[in-house]
C-alpha cells in the first residue's frame, strides 16, 4: 500500500511537470523544425530576427550586470546597515514582482514620453533601446537582492568582524570574506535576472514602439512573426529564446559541482 | 599595559557597561569574569574596537586607540563560535592577516607553518573548517589571531561552545601557550573555575560594573562583598552569615558556641564529602569536608553533630 502511494505521488509530480513544462516545450521544438532544419535556420537568420537577437542580448548585457551590482549593494545595505526608511526600501524592492509589466511600461511612457518630466534628455528613451533597457532593469531588479538577503542574514557578521580585527578594510572584507560566502546566492540571482531579462515582454512591448529591425527584441519578434502567420518564424525564434535560457542554466550547473565536491 | 578608563556603553536604555575602569599589565593573562549580562563581553568588544563606547577611553601600550577602528589597534580577537572563514583552508585562514598586510609569500608560508605547529594542527593545513572538530577550529582561530603578532590577544568566551572535556584540555593548553608566547591576553568567561585556573588577574563584573579585581586567591579569601563571595566559590548560609562550606567546623562534641545539628544527607564525591545538616531551630546548612574528616566523625544520616564557624 505504502509503495503504491509513493508511486502515485511520483506519477502526479511527473505528469504535472510533463504536461505543463515538457509537453509545450517539446511541441514548440517540433513545430519549429516541422519543415526541417533549413527553414528554421532561415527564419532566425533574417535581418529582423538577427537584429532582435542583438537587441535582446544588449538589453541583458546591461540589465544583468547593473542589477547584480545594485542587488548586492542593496542587500548589504538592508541587512548590515541601519538607516531611516529601511523597511520602505525593503518593501519597494519587491514592487516589480507585484506590478504588472504593462503598468511598468506605461509608467515609463509617462515619465519619459511626450509631456513627461524627463522628456528632454539628450537621447531618446521612449520608442528606443534605452527605454527597453530601463524597463527590463526595472522588472528584473528584485532577484539578486532577494537571493542574497537571506544568505547574508544567515552567515552573520562574525566572519566580517574577524576579518576587521585581522586588519582587513571594507573592500578587502567584502572581496575576501563576504562575497565568497554569498557567491552562490549571487549566481542564482543572476540566472533569474537573466531569465527575466531575456523573456520580458509586457513592459518592453509598451516602451519600444515595436519598430521592426530597430526596437524589436526577440520576444517581440516572436509575437510579431506569429501575428503575421509566420509560424515557423515564431517557433524558431522561440526555440532560440529557450536555448538561451537553457544555456544560462547549464552555465550555472557547470560551475557549481566543482565547489561542492571539494 | 592596556587601560580602559571610565568606559560606558549603552544599548538603547540598557547600560551594558557603566563607568568601568580596568588596567591589564603587559604580558599578563587577565580574565573578565561575570554572569551573563554583566557587560564583560561588551567591555572586551569596546577594547577591540568592534563596539564604540559612549564614554571613556581605551589605551593600548600608551597609544590612545579610542577613536580607531579595530583594523589599526594591533589586536587579535577570538570569537566564541570561532568565526572561521568557511570557504578557506586552515592555512589560508591563518595566513589571512599576513596576506592583508602584503607580507612576502615565503615569510607567510614560514609563519603559517610555525603557527600551525604551535597549535598542533600541522597535519590539517589543507582542510576546511567544516572538517575540523570544535576544539581544532578554536585552535585554528587562535593561530589566525596570533599570526599578526598582536599587542593584545582578546578572547570572547573562547571555550564556551566546547564540551567539558575539550574545554579542560584547551584551558591547560592555553595556559602553556601563554607561558610560551607571553602576549598580553584578556579573556571573557562566565566560568569561575576557568578564570581561577588560567588568569593572573581576575576582573569580576556584575550588572555593568566591576565588583572586585585581583588574583584568584584574593577574590576567594577576601571577597569585597557577598556577590563576589557567592560567585567565586561555594557558599553556605550559616545563620545570617555567608560562609564557605569548608569553613564550618563539625565535631561530635559540644564546645563553646557550637550548635547541635542532625545529619540529613551525606554525599561522597571521592576526596570531598558534602553533608546537609538541620540545626535544632530548623535552619539548614551544608558543609564540605575531606573524606578522612568524614570517616573520623563517622558521619551518617541521622547522626548528631555540633557545628560552629571556624574562626
Residue of B nearest to A164 (CA): B71
Q: What is the pLDDT of residue A262?
A: 38
- Residue B162's SS3 state is coil
- Interchain proximity A162–B100, CB inside 8 Å: no
The Cα B55–Cα B66 span in angstroms is 10
Q: What distance in Å separates residue A157's CA from the closest CA in chain B? A: 9
pLDDT score at A255:
65
Written as one string, the DSSP assignment of B126-159 is T--GGGS-HHHHHHHHHHHHHTT--SEEEEESTT
- Pick from B48, B68, B73, B97 the residue to mutate for testing the A interface (most A CBs within 10 Å): B97
Euclidean distance between CA atoms B174 and B146, whole angstroms: 12
Say if residues B53 and B17 touch (Cβ distance below 8 Å): yes
What's residue B90's pLDDT?
96
Which residues of chain B have a pLDDT value below 70?
311
Inter-chain CB proximity A158 and B83 less than 8 Å = yes
pLDDT, residue B26, reads: 93
User: If you search the block for the grid coordinates 544583468, which residue do you land on?
Assistant: A64
Closest Cβ–Cβ partner in B49, B77, B87 for A162: B77
> Who's near A14: CB < 8 A, 6+ residues apart?
none
Strands B209-214 and B201-206: antiparallel
Which residues make Cβ contacts (< 8 Å) with residue A1, sequence separation at least 6?
Answer: none
The CA–CA distances, whole Å, from A256 to A101, A149, A150, A182, B18 equal 32, 20, 19, 13, 50
Report CB contact under 8 Å: A161, B50. yes
Per-residue pLDDT of chain A (262 residues; tens, 9 = 90+): 678 888 999 999 999 999 998 898 899 888 888 888 888 899 889 999 999 999 999 999 999 999 999 999 999 999 999 889 888 988 899 999 899 999 999 998 888 887 778 777 777 888 888 999 999 999 999 999 999 999 999 999 999 999 999 999 999 999 999 999 999 899 989 999 999 999 999 999 999 888 888 889 999 999 999 999 998 889 999 999 999 988 888 887 776 655 544 3
Contacts of B75 in chain A (CB under 8 A): 165
- pTM of this prediction? 0.83
pLDDT tens for B223-238 read 999 999 999 988 988 8
Segment 110-169 of chain B within 8 Å of chain A by CB: 128, 141, 144-145, 147-148
pLDDT of residue A261: 41
Q: Using CA atoms, how far apart are residues A129 and B57, in angstroms rounded to an integer?
A: 58
Phi, psi of A40, deg, nearest 5 = -65, -45
Amino acid at each position: 500500500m505504502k509503495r503504491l502511494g509513493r508511486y502515485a505521488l511520483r506519477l502526479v509530480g511527473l505528469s504535472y511537470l510533463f504536461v505543463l513544462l515538457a509537453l509545450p516545450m517539446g511541441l514548440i521544438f517540433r513545430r519549429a523544425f516541422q519543415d526541417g532544419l533549413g527553414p528554421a535556420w532561415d527564419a532566425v537568420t533574417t535581418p529582423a530576427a538577427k537584429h532582435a537577437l542583438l537587441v535582446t542580448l544588449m538589453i541583458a548585457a546591461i540589465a544583468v550586470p547593473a542589477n547584480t551590482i545594485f542587488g548586492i549593494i542593496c542587500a548589504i545595505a538592508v541587512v548590515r546597515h541601519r538607516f531611516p526608511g529601511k523597511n520602505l526600501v525593503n518593501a519597494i524592492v519587491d514592487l516589480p514582482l507585484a506590478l504588472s509589466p504593462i503598468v511598468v511600461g506605461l509608467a515609463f511612457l509617462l515619465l519619459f514620453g511626450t509631456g513627461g518630466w524627463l522628456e528632454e534628455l539628450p537621447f531618446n528613451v521612449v520608442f528606443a533601446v534605452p527605454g527597453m533597457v530601463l524597463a527590463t532593469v526595472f522588472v528584473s531588479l528584485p532577484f539578486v537582492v532577494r537571493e542574497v538577503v537571506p544568505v547574508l542574514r544567515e552567515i552573520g557578521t562574525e566572519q566580517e568582524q574577524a576579518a576587521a580585527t585581522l586588519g582587513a578594510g571594507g573592500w578587502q572584507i567584502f572581496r575576501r570574506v563576504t562575497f565568497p560566502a554569498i557567491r552562490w546566492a549571487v549566481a542564482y540571482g543572476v540566472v533569474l535576472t537573466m531569465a527575466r531579462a531575456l523573456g520580458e515582454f509586457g513592459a518592453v512591448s509598451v516602451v519600444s514602439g515595436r519598430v521592426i529591425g530597430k526596437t524589436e527584441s526577440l520576444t517581440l519578434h516572436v509575437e510579431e512573426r506569429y501575428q503575421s502567420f509566420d509560424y515557423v518564424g515564431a517557433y524558431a525564434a522561440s526555440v532560440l529564446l529557450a536555448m538561451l535560457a537553457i544555456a544560462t542554466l547549464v552555465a550555472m550547473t557547470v560551475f557549481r559541482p566543482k565547489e561542492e565536491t571539494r | 599595559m592596556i587601560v580602559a578608563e571610565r568606559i560606558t556603553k549603552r544599548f538603547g536604555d540598557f547600560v551594558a557597561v557603566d563607568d568601568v575602569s580596568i588596567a591589564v599589565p603587559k604580558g599578563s593573562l587577565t580574565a573578565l569574569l561575570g554572569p551573563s549580562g554583566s557587560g564583560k563581553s561588551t567591555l572586551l568588544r569596546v577594547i577591540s574596537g568592534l563596539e564604540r563606547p559612549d564614554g571613556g577611553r581605551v589605551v593600548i601600550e600608551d597609544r590612545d586607540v579610542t577613536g580607531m577602528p579595530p583594523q589599526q589597534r594591533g589586536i587579535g580577537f577570538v570569537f566564541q563560535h570561532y568565526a572561521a572563514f568557511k570557504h578557506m583552508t586552515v592555512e589560508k585562514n591563518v595566513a589571512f592577516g599576513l596576506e592583508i598586510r602584503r607580507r612576502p609569500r615565503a615569510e607567510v608560508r614560514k609563519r603559517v607553518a610555525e603557527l600551525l605547529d604551535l597549535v598542533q594542527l600541522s597535519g590539517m593545513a589543507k582542510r576546511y573548517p567544516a572538517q575540523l572538530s570544535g576544539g581544532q577550529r578554536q585552535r585554528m582561530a587562535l593561530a589566525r589571531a596570533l599570526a599578526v603578532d598582536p599587542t593584545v590577544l582578546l578572547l570572547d568566551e573562547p571555550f564556551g561552545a566546547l564540551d567539558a572535556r575539550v574545554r579542560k584540555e584547551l584551558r591547560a593548553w592555553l595556559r602553556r601557550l601563554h607561558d610560551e608566547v607571553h602576549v598580553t591576553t584578556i579573556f571573557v568567561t562566565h566560568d569561575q573555575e576557568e578564570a581561577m585556573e588560567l588568569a593572573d588577574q581576575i576582573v569580576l563584573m556584575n550588572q555593568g560594573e566591576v565588583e572586585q579585581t585581583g588574583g584568584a586567591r584574593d577574590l576567594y579569601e577576601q571577597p569585597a562583598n557577598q556577590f563576589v563571595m557567592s560567585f567565586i566559590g561555594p557558599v553556605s548560609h550559616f545563620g545570617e552569615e555567608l560562609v564557605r562550606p569548608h569553613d564550618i567546623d563539625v565535631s561530635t562534641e559540644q564546645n563553646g558556641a557550637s550548635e547541635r545539628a542532625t545529619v540529613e544527607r551525606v554525599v561522597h564525591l571521592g576526596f570531598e564529602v558534602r553533608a546537609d545538616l538541620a540545626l535544632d531551630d530548623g535552619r539548614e546548612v551544608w558543609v564540605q569536608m575531606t573524606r578522612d574528616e568524614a570517616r573520623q566523625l563517622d558521619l551518617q544520616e541521622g547522626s548528631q553533630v555540633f557545628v560552629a564557624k571556624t574562626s
